[in-house]
Amino acid sequence: MKQTSSTKTQVTSNQASDAVNDDAPKLTQANFDSAKLRVAGRDVNRAEWQVAVRARVGKQRINIMLDAPIIEHFKALAGDRGYQTLINDSLRRVIETGHLEADLRRVIREELSH
């Protein structure tokens, strides 16, 4: 499994005590390596699983260049959600608002012309 972040965080005493009191076993790379990927009840390879996940979610992986202040803004807002999710939601709202605005303008023009 690829490491996705190299950010170092300091563990607080509350987090440390939570970790000690956690009954769940610690997951290791071996656990992930031995995991079975399944789609619709049948075993599949990683490529098939990724295709199925993307088809279900309806998302597509792309590469895009954004200005650093934009990314910083969304990361600051993100909290537990991913900043990419916030960017996606913001773009969706812009699209929906644009369609709504265009529809309202068309209806108003039609009504005014009568």
Residues 23-81 have pLDDT tens digits of 888 888 888 888 888 888 889 988 888 888 777 777 777 899 999 999 999 999 988 77
Greatest Cα pair distance, the chain, in angstroms, is: 73
| Contact of 54 with 60, CB cutoff 8 Å | yes
Please check whether residue 79 lies inside any domain of the structure. yes
Do 112 and 77 share a structural domain? yes
| Contact of 49 with 39, CB cutoff 8 Å | yes
Task: Check residue 66 and give its pLDDT.
Answer: 93
- The pTM of the full predicted model, rounded to 2 decimals, is 0.44
Task: Check residue 1 and give its pLDDT.
Answer: 46
Residue 76 tokens, joined: 């600051």
Lowest mean pLDDT among 9-23, 63-77, 91-105: 9-23
**From CA 2, how far away is CA 29, in angstroms rounded?**
10
Please check whether residue 21 lies inside any domain of the structure. no
Range of the domain at 71: 63-114
